[in-house]
Amino acid sequence: MIYLKTDEEIELLRENNILVSETLAEVGRHLVPGITTRELDKIAEDFIRSHGATPPCLGYEGYPAATCISVNEQVVHGIPSDYVIKEGDIVSVDLCTLMKGFVGDSAYTFAVGEVSDEVKRLLEVTKEALYKGTAQARAGNRIGDISAAVQEYAESFGYGVVRELEGHGLGRKMHEDPGVPNYGARGRGPLLKEGMVICIEPMITMGNKAVVFERDGWTVRTRDRKPAAHFEFAVAIRKNGPDVLTDFSIIENALNN
Ligand code: MF3
Ligand code: CO
């Protein structure tokens, strides 16, 4: 069941996704060698609560934290822990807010200090794959148009596209229909309509696309232990085209200051 949103509901979703963007910026400011991922999770949770929202990931199907923090070969759903961040790590921070009955959900992969040119390119290409998919998020297109755009762009660099996880609808619930795979065929899948809100979230690997699920029940990592990147944002399908509800410039401006 796909829920179409009114303009007012889209603005509430935007408010949430702006708070998610600001929370990601706050985490980014603290993301330096020596801090643990658990400390970063605490910073995010306090920030979310002090802005009048709650973190819906906490307790979701038993998930034990407010954020997912996935380092290097971890793709998504890394559980914050005593792991100490070090120079050269890449760190995906994925977090959600719940406020005024709606959810925000976005993720950003940060580089800690200097990373290799090879890893820098993985991050750039994964973010660009998200934008390529977003350009297809128009009424009259199908989910497969988004999926194919993400896949073709990422694979043109020789990267792997993770198959086991996908984007999703976003609204009063964190995960609504439709699913938004990062691979697929143009012209296939659910029809996109004005009022749909989806999260597009490419998970791209430097090596093989195969992943394994860790025994903690959550963490997904690459089988070959090569690095992976993950960017996610929320997009509303509007009359005039895609309307991105998350604002990565809030994060990127924080990093440059
Ligand atoms: N943004 C993540 C997702 O869409 C949120 C996961 S919350 C968790 O999968 F509780 F499942 F970890
Ligand atoms: Co998501």
- Does 216 sit in the ligand 1 pocket, CB within 6 Å? no
The fold for domain 7-256 equals Creatine Amidinohydrolase (3.90.230)
Which residue's CA is minimally distant from atom 6 of ligand 1?
57
- Of 256 and 221, which is predicted with more confidence? 221
Residues of the chain above pLDDT 70, percent: 100
Task: Write down the pLDDT at residue 13.
Answer: 99
Dihedral of the CA atoms 132, 23, 213, 182 (nearest 10)?
-10
Task: List, as ranges, residues with CB under 5 A of the ion ligand 2.
Answer: 105, 199
- Does 77 sit in the ligand 1 pocket, CB within 6 Å? yes
The answer, yes or no, to whether residue 92 has pLDDT greater than 80, is yes
Task: Write down the pLDDT at residue 17.
Answer: 99
- Does 94 sit in the ligand 1 pocket, CB within 6 Å? yes
| 61 CA from centroid of ligand 1 (Å) | 10
Task: Write down the pLDDT at residue 256.
Answer: 87
pLDDT tens digits along 38-50: 999 999 999 999 9
pLDDT tens digits along 127-159: 999 999 999 999 999 999 999 999 999 999 999
For residue 102, give both structure tokens: 């709606």
Mutate to test the pocket of ligand 1, among 174, 180, 199, 203 (most ligand atoms within 8 A of CB): 174
- Does 192 sit in the ligand 1 pocket, CB within 6 Å? no
pLDDT tens digits along 226-242: 999 999 999 999 999 99
Q: What is the mean pLDDT of residues 80-91?
A: 98
- Does 44 sit in the ligand 1 pocket, CB within 6 Å? no
**Please, which pLDDT band fits residue 165 given cuts at 50, 70 and 90?**
very high
Break the chain into its structural domains and give their ranges: 7-256
| φ and ψ of 25, to 5 deg | -65, -40
The answer, yes or no, to whether residue 257 has pLDDT greater than 80, is no
